[in-house]
Amino acid sequence: MKTLGIFRHAKSDWNDARLRDFDRPLNARGRKGAAIMGLHIRDHAQNWSRILASPAVRVTQTLDLASEAAGAAPSITWDRRIYLASSATLIDVLREQDGDPASIMMVGHNPGLEDLIFDLVPDDGNSPLRDIVEEKLPTAAFAVLQLDIDSWDKVDMGCASLVHLQRPRDLDPDLGPNANF
């Protein structure tokens, strides 16, 4: 059994049209969401063996703020392939992990992370959390999957169950879709 954490970057700032997508920072709501989710991830009590993340600015800032709030200094492996990756690419990244860590947290972007959940968790009507993700995996959302595999090179479609999902708005209503920042 392996554990996969999925953490979507927090809300980004679209105010500077001159910035490349890769270089967009977090906005005020995103900074608050990243910090509150950092506390939640810490309190979820999972010790992540490895953290894999997109090097995009909004992801690096999300992890910096989440780590600071949690009082942690995790070791992070930055992988450019995670930036705007498809589910297939994300599965390839997971399959390539050496050393067979017990748990991996992947931090990146939609639609790839959302699609990864859809590909790994069967749509068999037995996952109310998957139904929530079908509505949307919002910014700064955190999900935990249990994979019925013995090694990461065995990651395949339908091998997981979604055992935890936390959205920022569930922790602070000011972080919901109708919040004014």
Q: Which domains does the chain have, with CATH numbers?
A: 2-13+20-122+129-154 (3.40.50.1240)
Q: What is the pLDDT of residues 68-107, one digit of tens each?
A: 999 888 899 999 999 999 999 999 999 999 999 999 999 9
What DSSP string describes 97-165?
--S--SEEEEEE-TTHHHHHHHHHS--SS--HHHHHHHH---TT-EEEEEE--SSGGG--TT-EEEEEE
Query: DSSP 3-state helix, strand, coil percentages of the chain (rounded to 5)?
Result: 40, 20, 40
Q: How confident is the model at residue 15 (pLDDT cuts 50, 70, 90)?
A: confident
